[in-house]
Amino acid sequence: MRILHVAHQQLRKYGHTRVSWARKLFHGLVRNEHYLVQTFSDRDVAAFEAPLGIRDLGARRCNQRLLQTAEAFAPDLVLLGHCDLITNQTLDALRRLCPGVVIAGLNNDPLFVPENAAKIRQRCAAVDVMFVSTGSAELAPFAGRRARLHHMPNPVDPAIESADNSRQTTFSHDLLFCSKSQAHTQRGKLVAALRERLPPALRLHTPGSFGVPGVWGRDYDQTLAASRMGLNLNRQEGGHWYSSARMAQMAGNGLLVFTHAAAGFDTLFPAESLAYFTDEDSLLAQVTRFYHDDAQRQHWAANTRDFFHREMNCTLYARYIVEASLGLPFSHDYVWEQRA
């Protein structure tokens, strides 16, 4: 099996970040040993090929380089992550170069952002299958085009989510909230109100908000490893099985995670794992409860971490994407497929 993986590989970050879902997918593909994987980083190629390194000036050349790569590599399957520089016309040309190739699109951004929904619709006209991180209950608006539609979760990677805070009792931070985006959200107001009501001794850490510098790469790893519990507040709540990748990053490292009940994760995750809330009062009650009962915090966090690493790891995630793309019988009872 020859797979061409097209996504932003963040080459020009030079190690400053390493938690991207595209990187986890690549790791998972490699771990499924019968896959031969070639990567193509559209944004980086465009910048490398452009005059003066101005990425937008390299878009045309980037598309040409992708076709050159496909011709040389002869993939059986092409996986397209967030690669807006690659046009549907280029995908049509790729099919002519590689007869019989299957092309799959993958979108990990929220549907409530109009620009992202438009990108999915456009890509669904050119790919054979589209994977979206929002649950299948909300994918009907994208039906009727070429692409078959599937939900994909945010996975954990044992090489990335390597801490286990559920076994620890000493931390620098009791509650963590990481955020920098202000578009399409009111979550900052919720955190501000919560700050005023939390127990005085509880140490809330807010990288990226309230004047606290953001953290990336190694600093983000260290922040996660130093935190007891985490707030998984999406820019908007209520999307079926939708969460930012933050939930997997926190839970995979053994933090107890608080997340909104409206996403319906109680139908996917086992009992006594994620801690759900519905409003400011219920969030305050949940945070206070687990802050004062560390044994329960450890128990719930361990359950969540174990579920992620056992059932939603990057190896199973990659295998599912390949099998669903090619229409193969599933080799595993993928929980997100079984409980959809």
Nearest in space to 156 (alpha carbons), one of 272, 339, 318, 271: 318
pLDDT band for position 18 (cuts 50, 70, 90)? low
Nearest in space to 246 (alpha carbons), one of 150, 315, 180: 180
Identify the pLDDT of residue 181: 63
Residues 290 and 228: beta-carbon distance below 8 Å: no
Across 84-97, average pLDDT: 97
Across 105-125, average pLDDT: 94
Residue 300 clears pLDDT 90, i.e. is over it: yes
Give per-residue pLDDT as tens, 139-178: 999 999 999 999 999 999 999 999 999 999 999 999 999 9
DSSP conformational letter for 258? E
What tokens appear for 249 in the block? Answer: 């990053």
Identify the pLDDT of residue 231: 97
What is d(CA 173, CA 20) in angstroms, rounded to the nearest whole number?
24
Residues 231 and 258: beta-carbon distance below 8 Å: yes
Domains and CATH numbers, the chain: 2-155+312-338 (3.40.50.11010), 165-311 (3.40.50.2000)
What tokens appear for 101 in the block? Answer: 């190739």
Across 71-93, average pLDDT: 97
What is d(CA 15, CA 11) in angstroms, rounded to the nearest whole number?
8
> For 321-337, b where at least 16 C-beta lie within 10 A, e where not — what string?
bbbbbeeeeeeeebbbb
Residue 303 clears pLDDT 80, i.e. is over it: yes
Averaged confidence pLDDT in the chain: 94
Across 124-148, average pLDDT: 95
Q: What angle do CA 253, 17, 246 make, to 5 degrees?
A: 40
- Full DSSP string of 159-172: TTS---GGG----S
Across 227-231, average pLDDT: 98
Handedness of CA 243, 246, 252, 253 (dihedral sign): negative
What is d(CA 209, CA 207) in angstroms, rounded to the nearest whole number?
6
Model pTM score: 0.93
The H or E element spanning position 151 is: strand 148-151
